[in-house]
A = this chain, B = another copy of it.
């Protein structure tokens, strides 16, 4: 029997998850100023593990540290979104290529199962924020399928920012951000046999997502820079 690694032993990991959740869910709005002292008091931990957790969030772009001034929750600017989408497109295309060259049918049916679960949750419509998280996990699963650890790591790094944006988006328009049909398409793509077509479709898919996103962004208040 293989044991699932218990992920939560240390406080540092717990803090990372707590803080990420707070930011990504929008509970702490973009642009907010935080300080280590205040956080350590509120979270009930000392600053040592807190600082290590913060570094991690800074490294994934969710927080910006301005030494001796404070920590700021990073907003998602237009430019950030463009970069996020372009890098993401490149990474997912690569993931597709890797999956395609492996052709692991069993894993692909697992993908179906996961997709099914996502659809259920989303259609019930109870927990839109949770649905976004599930969508992220769906993509993560594809990366894991590729068996490419470095690639997966790269995705995991930009994922929180993406999730952050989707949640913002979701709150602003109280409509399901990510589209169900898009997921159908995505899963179908991942299972496709014509690689070139898959890549082209993915690219178009992403560009559409970005376009829709940018359009909505234009009607929002200008998001926080840096």
Contact = CB atoms under 8 A, between A and B. Distances in A.
Contacts of A149: 83
Q: For chain A, what secondary structure do more than half of its interface residues adopt (helix, strand, loop), or is it mixed? A: helix
Interface string A160-193: 0000000000000000000000000000000000
Question: Size range of the interface on A?
Answer: 20 to 34
A158 interface: yes
Contacts of A61: 150
| Max chain B Cβ within 10 angstroms of own Cβ: one of A94, A150, A154 | A150
Contacts of A11: none
A52 interface: yes
Interface string A85-109: 0110011001000100000000000
A84 interface: yes
A34 interface: no
Contacts of A48: 48, 51
Given A48-B48, A94-B90, A150 B55 contact: no
A83 B52 contact: no
A181 B148 CA distance: 30
A151 B87 contact: yes
Interface in A48-72: 48, 51-52, 55-56, 59, 61
A98 B90 CA distance: 12
A109 to B, nearest CB: 26
Contact of A158 (B83, B87, B148, B150): B150
Nearest to A154: B154
Contacts of A98: 86
28 contacts: A48-B48, A48-B51, A51-B52, A52-B52, A55-B55, A55-B56, A56-B59, A59-B59, A61-B150, A80-B150, A83-B148, A83-B149, A83-B150, A83-B151, A84-B150, A86-B98, A86-B148, A86-B151, A87-B148, A87-B151, A87-B154, A90-B90, A90-B91, A90-B94, A150-B158, A154-B154, A154-B157, A157-B157
Given A48-B51, A86-B98, A87-B150, 13 more contacts: A48-B48, A52-B52, A55-B56, A56-B59, A59-B59, A83-B149, A83-B150, A84-B150, A86-B94, A86-B148, A90-B90, A90-B91, A154-B154
